Amino acid sequence: MTLNVGVIGVGMIGQDHIRRLTHVLSGARVAAVTDVDLDRARAVADDLPGAKLHQNGPALITDPDVDAVVVTSWGPTHEEYVLASIAAGKQVFCEKPLATTREACDRIVDAEVAAGRRMVMVGFMRRYDDQYRAMKAAVTSGDIGAPLIMHAAHRNPSVPGHYTSDMIINDSTVHDIDVARWMFDDEIAAVTVLKPRVSSKARPGFNDPLLVLLEMASGVLVDVEAMVNAGFGYDIRGEVVCEDGTVELSESEGTVVKRAGRFSGRVPATWRERFIRAFDLEFQAWIDAVRAGGTTGPSVWDGYAATVACETGLAALRSGVREPITLRARPDLYKQDVA
Ligand code: NAD
Ligand code: ISE
């Protein structure tokens, strides 16, 4: 049976997910769309044979012809739509962030726990990237010994006009925060944020770049260089240093050309290019799991822990000192991770 998906928020990533649901993946179709910008939603619906246009999110969620919901609207709207989907008994894929505050995430945790089953997958797609998966396999195999340190860099070539200085942490570094928790199957215990010399390309009021230091509960340290005006491309780096060796993300996605005593390769232009396969794998995993009656991948707990770490990171940026993280007790529903 084909899964009929309703999409709330048809901006940049909403349209990209509609493209993959319609033309790339199997087992699902886009049955309905909506957006606060109804003209945009109408234009998208017109290109999708048989898709309905809904006036708002609640109408889409309660439509009996919609089996499952994709939330790709702005972050502050996610809570409302995820809670409504849970209340309607429908599986939901929510782009990051799960919600923008600890309290909002708490309410989603409470709702899902009350429902008694996992109903939400959060879009931390790096967990589906081949390179990150190979890195995690190397770390967990034990072949290179116990992990000690992870070095990471998250460099955007540039960011759009609506991007604020806080987003360096809660829109960009949030991915590295999720990778750290997933890589080491561990929670983050404390965050410190250092401010290097400000790039001359930074917008006024931006501390760009930042150095974000995550202390895992085990004692592993993760340093993340976050920069949003790198100019030269979208450059994602990672290396885990273990007791008996190291593992790093490969330098080039494609071929490395050696010529005349030099070598060169491609730096991806955008996150869409760098993670296109991860997005496909993530979404296919969600479709398959929902068709089988459940869900998979990053959970509401992962979304909650990431948002709390971002809030703490912003507090550390402002205070200039190490800020400890306090999480609520982890409900039994999230004690067994599925991916
Ligand atoms: P965008 O601004 O291009 O699109 C957001 C859309 O949501 C717009 O069309 C807007 O009109 C609509 N919208 C806003 N409020 C709404 C509401 N109350 N109800 C319905 N629609 C509403 O933004 P985007 O870049 O597509 O980002 C959307 C979400 O996806 C964000 O949460 C962002 O963090 C996330 N995102 C994730 C990744 C990733 O790598 N996983 C990449 C980009 C964006
Ligand atoms: C963007 O919103 C994303 O989620 C991308 O994956 C990330 O790399 C980028 O920094 C964010 O702005």
Asked, for residue 15, whether it belongs to a domain, the answer is: yes
- What's the pLDDT score for residue 260? 96
Q: What is the DSSP letter of 263?
A: E
Q: What is the DSSP letter of 144?
A: T
**196 and 173 in one domain?**
yes
**84 and 138 in one domain?**
no
264 vs 242: CA distance, rounded Å: 29
Indicate which CATH number applies to the domain containing 145: 3.30.360.10
Q: Mean pLDDT for the chain? A: 96
Asked, for residue 318, whether it belongs to a domain, the answer is: no
Which whole number is the average pLDDT over 321-338? 90
Phi/psi class of residue 219: alpha, beta or left (left: φ > 0; alpha: ψ in -120 to 50)? left
- Number of continuous H segments (helices) and E segments (strands) in the chain: 11, 15
**229 and 166 in one domain?**
yes
Which whole number is the average pLDDT over 34-50? 98
2 CA to centre of ligand 2 in angstroms: 30
Asked, for residue 33, whether it belongs to a domain, the answer is: yes
Residue 111 has a CB neighbour count (10 Å cut-off) of 19
**211 and 187 in one domain?**
yes
Confidence of residue 337 (pLDDT cuts 50, 70, 90): low
Locate the DSSP E strands across the chain: 3-8, 28-34, 52-53, 68-71, 91-94, 120-122, 147-155, 188-194, 210-216, 221-227, 235-242, 246-248, 257-259, 262-264, 323-324
- What's the pLDDT score for residue 254? 78
End-to-end CA distance of the chain: 24
**9 and 80 in one domain?**
yes
Pocket residue to mutate for ligand 1, from 42, 73, 302, most atoms within 8 A of Cβ: 73
Indicate which CATH number applies to the domain containing 73: 3.40.50.720
Asked, for residue 12, whether it belongs to a domain, the answer is: yes
Confidence of residue 251 (pLDDT cuts 50, 70, 90): confident
Residue 128 Cβ contacting ligand 1 at under 6 Å: no
274 CA to centre of ligand 2 in angstroms: 11
Asked, for residue 290, whether it belongs to a domain, the answer is: yes
User: Is the bond preceding residue 97 a cis peptide, omega within 30 degrees?
Assistant: yes
- What's the pLDDT score for residue 271? 96
133 vs 141: CA distance, rounded Å: 12
Confidence of residue 39 (pLDDT cuts 50, 70, 90): very high
262 CA to centre of ligand 1 in angstroms: 41
CA count, 13 A, side-chain hemisphere, 284: 12
Which whole number is the average pLDDT over 145-165? 97
Q: What confidence tens digit (pLDDT) does each residue in 175-213 have?
A: 999 999 999 999 999 999 999 999 999 999 999 999 999
* 241 has pLDDT over 70: yes
**215 and 104 in one domain?**
no
Asked, for residue 319, whether it belongs to a domain, the answer is: no
**147 and 118 in one domain?**
no
Residue 69 CB contacts under 8 Å (≥ 6 apart), including other chains: 5, 6, 7, 8, 60, 61, 81, 85, 90, 91, 92, 93
Which whole number is the average pLDDT over 87-109? 98
* 338 has pLDDT over 50: no
333 vs 215: CA distance, rounded Å: 25
**236 and 160 in one domain?**
yes
**251 and 134 in one domain?**
yes
Which residues are registered as beta bridge partners of 191?
214, 323
> How many structural domains compose the chain?
2
303 vs 11: CA distance, rounded Å: 21
Asked, for residue 336, whether it belongs to a domain, the answer is: no
**17 and 102 in one domain?**
yes
pTM: 0.97
Which whole number is the average pLDDT over 11-40? 98
Cα–Cα nearest to 3, from 287, 289, 292: 287
Query: What domain range includes position 248?
Result: 127-271
319 vs 327: CA distance, rounded Å: 20
129 vs 174: CA distance, rounded Å: 16
Question: Which whole-number Å values give the CA distances from 300 to 86, 122, 150, 251, 257, in the listed order?
Answer: 12, 7, 25, 32, 43
* % of the chain beyond a pLDDT of 70: 99
Which amino acid residue places its CA nearest to atom 5 of ligand 2?
Answer: 271
Asked, for residue 228, whether it belongs to a domain, the answer is: yes
Ligand that lies nearest to the alpha carbon of residue 18, given by its number in the listed order = 1
250 CA to centre of ligand 1 in angstroms: 30
**Boundary residue ending a domain (230, 251, 271):** 271
222 vs 295: CA distance, rounded Å: 29
**226 and 165 in one domain?**
yes
SS3 71: strand
Q: Tell me which amino acid residue 215 is.
A: E
**50 and 133 in one domain?**
no
Cα–Cα nearest to 81, from 19, 17, 35, 21: 35
